[in-house]
Amino acid sequence: MSSNLETGLAARAALAYWACQLLGWGINLFGQLSSAASTVGQPLATAVIEVASLNALALIFTHQLRKVVKRHEWHQLPLSSLLPRMVASSVAMALPLAILMHFMTVANMWSGSIQQIEQLPGIVSWIGAIDPLLLRTINWSAVLFLWVVLYLCITSLRDRRSVELRQSELKRALQTAELRVLKSQLNPHFLFNSLNSVRALIADDPAAAQRAVTQLARTLRYTLRSGHEELVSLERELEIVEDYLELESLRLGDRLRIERRVSVPADRTRIPVMLLQTVVENAIKHGIAELPEGGVLSIRAELRESTLIIEVENPRPAASAPATNEGVGLRNAAERLNLLFGNDAGLQLDLSSPALAVARIHIPQTT
Amino acid sequence: MKALIVDDEPLARRELRRLLADFDWIEIVGEASNINEAQKAVDTLAPELLFLDIQMPGGSGFDLLTRIEHVPRVIFTTAYDHHAVHAFEVNALDYLLKPIEPERLASALSRARDAASPAGSGNVASARVAGQSVESVERLFIRDGERCWFVPLREVCLMAAEGNYVRLHWHDARPLLARPLSSLEERLDPQRYFRANRRQIINLEFIENVELGSGGLLHVQLRGGPEVEISRRQARLFRAQMSV
């Protein structure tokens, strides 16, 4: 989406650039022609060709200069080093034009104004009087300097606008992504099914309904808070996993059987928030909930040489090819794990046995 | 009206049962927790109304409908399924979101009753009341990509084999049914449908006119459908049956 936007903007900028170039040099051409017509009594056709080719050359020069400006990033320069470059480049482009003019019939098109220049004070009148070549150079330099000033002003204005545009674009994309993450963490399928279970329980078993509402509230609060903290104790995460599993047991009935083997000082073990929860949710959603007879969900945690090993094992439908969206939650979890702990930590989903899925997490523990 | 509840969650079935208790004209004849059970229940209990969950272990509610021979009226139920809800909406199917709102249930049920009343059409119960043959009002459920249809067979003017599938010509739609033409033919009332040639079965009620072709062939123009050629062998049968 943003690349489309950028190519669109670039195409529009290129169009605007060429329009300005042609318009600017066109105006200059007509200006020079009118002064040539008034000062030089030439056959006008020759003058037209000469002035037109001079302006075409100027256009080519400035187009080349634009490449230099872009490559050497003149926009980043402070004014103290930018100004000399602007003057030097203007003169450098003006000089060949002025020399070329020397061999043309319009060579003296500005000489008519020498009298006026002589009336000017100081150095300008002096230079103008001394050398027509210098006069032509100064004239062209002024035009080309104006070009450089205009070019830099317009492009820096445009750049600032496109930066602002890109920032707002980026912000919107970020918000969409955040929303999507939150939605996937809230697990709407689970949420609405749980609410339906609660509705059923209210009449049959009010105490169970009350417990379910509390568990649902705790699960939701934990999910919403998970945006604010990175690491939690394994103990805290396991509490939420238990709440979640009890709610799923309401839905799935005796299809969900749970086995736990945690031989870790869980209060002193740190894991990324929602990591185990995501893995367990995945095991139910794509494993046990897909099986008419259900199965045993097994959660194991142990400490091996100061590395925490967590395994979540579940049966899965035999013929299931990994669905396209199946991996997204786990992949995000694995990426987050690597961001927090580097390559020492990891999360792998082992699907090597046909009817079983095992998610293995290993996280180094500093203490 | 005999109803069957199909949902994999016991609590969801119980909740729906309680909601339905307010409607004394609904008789819940059974429950099923997956589509295999549901298929058996449909065959043995012949419900007129199906409450059908979409996401179930072992196969979805849509899968069930493509499997069963006699499709009753269906009200879909789902807690949260983006794709299914989209399918319901674009195809104007009746659905309820869980937790089910009693008011929405009431309006879905009254629609089901309207369709089942003798004034309505296309329902097994009304056909029985009117003494028509059950086959003549049978419906097919067809899922073709994102689109799905309940197609009343009597409204289909032409069925054409496409490999192992059948293309139905039904009003302006041309849904593709995932079963061979021969298996469909077994279910059809021979008084109403005629095998025109190796690949096509026509609905006799849609015949607009018949023209003689060369070499004993017949050309049949179908109302709202294409022209169909009746093969020489079948043409003799056709003349006998239609006495033309």
Give the global pTM. Answer: 0.67
B130 — pLDDT class (breaks 50, 70, 90): very low
CB A261, CB A276: distance < 8 Å: no
Q: For a pLDDT cut of 70, what percent of chain A falls above it?
A: 89
Which range, A173-177, A326-330, B110-114, is most confident?
B110-114
Which class for B215: exposed (0-12), middle (13-18), buried (19 or more C-beta within 10 A)? exposed
Contacts of B55 in chain A (CB under 8 A): 189
Nearest C-alpha of chain B: how many angstroms from A293? Answer: 9
pLDDT tens digits along A137-168: 888 999 999 999 999 998 888 888 888 888 88
Q: Could you tell me which residue, B188 or A60, shows the higher pLDDT?
A: A60
Which pLDDT score is estimated for B97? 93
Which pLDDT score is estimated for B123? 47
Q: Which residue from B minimizes the CA distance to A196?
A: B99
Which range, A34-38, A75-79, A213-217, is most confident?
A213-217
Q: Could you tell me which residue, B117 or A67, shows the higher pLDDT?
A: A67
* Nearest Cβ partner for A200 among B11, B80, B81: B11
Which pLDDT score is estimated for B134? 45
* Interface size between A and B, measured as CB pairs under 8 A: 62
Query: Residue B112 and residue A209: Cα distance in Å, rounded?
Result: 32
CB contact under 8 Å between A199 and B15, yes or no, is yes
Would strands B218-222 and B147-152 be described as parallel, antiparallel, or unpaired?
unpaired
Q: What residues 1-30 of chain B have any CB closer than 8 A to a CB of chain A?
A: 8-12, 14-15, 18
A112 — pLDDT class (breaks 50, 70, 90): low
Which range, A185-194, A330-339, B105-114, is most confident?
B105-114
CB contact under 8 Å between B36 and A292, yes or no, is yes
Query: Residue B30 and residue B47: Cα distance in Å, rounded?
Result: 9
- Residue A4 CB partners (closer than 8 Å, separation 6+): none
Of B31-35, B70-74, B137-141, the one with minimum mean pLDDT is B137-141
CB contact under 8 Å between A203 and B18, yes or no, is yes
The verdict on B145 touching A (C-beta cutoff 8 Å) is no
Would strands B27-32 and B2-6 be described as parallel, antiparallel, or unpaired?
parallel
Residue B118: C-alpha distances to residues B115, B132, B151 (Å): 8, 12, 19
Which class for A88: exposed (0-12), middle (13-18), buried (19 or more C-beta within 10 A)? exposed
Residues of A with CB under 8 A from a CB of B: 188-189, 191-193, 195-201, 203-204, 250-253, 289-292, 317
Which pLDDT score is estimated for A127? 56
Which range, A41-50, A126-135, A332-341, B23-32, is most confident?
B23-32
Which pLDDT score is estimated for A35? 78
Q: What ipTM was predicted for this assembly?
A: 0.76
What does pLDDT average to over chain A?
85
Q: What is the mean pLDDT of residues A297-309?
A: 93
Of A146-155, A258-267, A344-353, B83-92, the one with minimum mean pLDDT is B83-92
Which pLDDT score is estimated for B220? 92
Mutation pick from A190, A195, A197 vs chain B, by most beta carbons of B within 10 Å, is A197
The number of beta carbons lying within 10 Å of the beta carbon of residue B202 is: 25
Q: For a pLDDT cut of 70, what percent of chain B falls above it?
A: 91
pLDDT tens digits along A59-70: 999 999 999 998
Given a cut of 80, is residue B140 above it in pLDDT?
yes
For A39-68, the three-class secondary structure string (H helix, E strand, C coil) is HCCCCHHHHHHHHHHHHHHHHHHHHHHHHH
CB contact under 8 Å between B57 and A201, yes or no, is no
Nearest C-alpha of chain B: how many angstroms from A299? Answer: 22
Q: What is the mean pLDDT of residues A266-281?
A: 90
- Phi, psi at A347, each rounded to 5°: -140, 120
Given a cut of 50, is residue A111 above it in pLDDT?
yes
The verdict on B58 touching A (C-beta cutoff 8 Å) is yes
